[in-house]
Amino acid sequence: MAEPARRIDRIDTSARFTAADAEALNARFAGVPTRDMLAAVLNEGLAGRIAAVSSFGAESAVLLHLLASIDPSVPVLFLDTGKHFPETLAYRDELVARLGLTNLINLTPDAEVLDKRDESGLRWSYDPDGCCEIRKVQPLAKALAHFDASFTGRKGFQSASRAGLPRFEIDNSDTAGRLKVNPLADWSSDQITAYFNATGLPAHPLVAEGYPSIGCSPCTSKVAPGEDQRSGRWKGWDKTECGIHLPGQDQAEDELPPGFDPVF
């Protein structure tokens, strides 16, 4: 059996993780209920300084509800790209108020970068990777540079590329050994639905209109019966992820975006 993962003190800003740490955490929490695992990670400081990354999309309420039931002050990072559906922004505000989340952090693209690389606001139409890079990848990388780990809402059933997703893994977007925690990795679609029903959580209003996976409005389409949940994202492009969960990103500069004031 793998050794228990080392504890990282929240004030140790240099502490990061190795693949062995991720393996140890996966071994320790194999078969452990999700909420119990989350409580241990948060209450024992197992992941150091950690933030949740949430799109406030179709299934986001489940993870946010679990986190809020343990510690509503967990930082929640939302990428406000300037391209979201109005329904998503209203849903974000509704969930924050309903769950009592006290540390929502809205991350926005750098205005100077937008002026130089997306002056027309139409980069999504001819270079969706470049659009995601400046509106999602760069702002999130700068914010996460000040955390040791992040929670994501990814689930293995969402697409073929996410099948077999572990609960704990190393974030390959930088070289600092940041931990990525996927609490719902092994949840099924039925479990997600059952959780919504049991808790009375409100659904994203666009789900009922045929959007099981919701991102920026120009790059999100309705999904046909039988297609996987994420088939409506970047329809017509050879693209399945926005880039924040992919390896090979440039390491972010050690600076905070405007208005970033985390409360730990």
> Which residues are part of the catalytic machinery?
242
Name the helix (H) or strand (E) containing 195: helix 189-199
Produce one character per residue of 84-118: b if its CB has 16 or more CB atoms within 10 Å, e if not. Answer: bbebbeebbeebbeebebebbbebbbbeeebeebb
Give the Cα separation of 208 and 9 in Å (integer). Answer: 43
Closest CA relative to residue 211, chosen from 191, 190, 230, 183: 230
First-to-last C-alpha distance (Å) of the chain: 33
The number of CA neighbours under 13 Å toward the Cβ of 160 is: 3
Q: Give the type of residue at 16.
A: R
Give the Cα separation of 247 and 228 in Å (integer). Answer: 23
CA angle 59, 65, 66 (to 5 degrees): 105
Strands 168-170 and 179-181: antiparallel
Token representation of residue 103: 């540390």
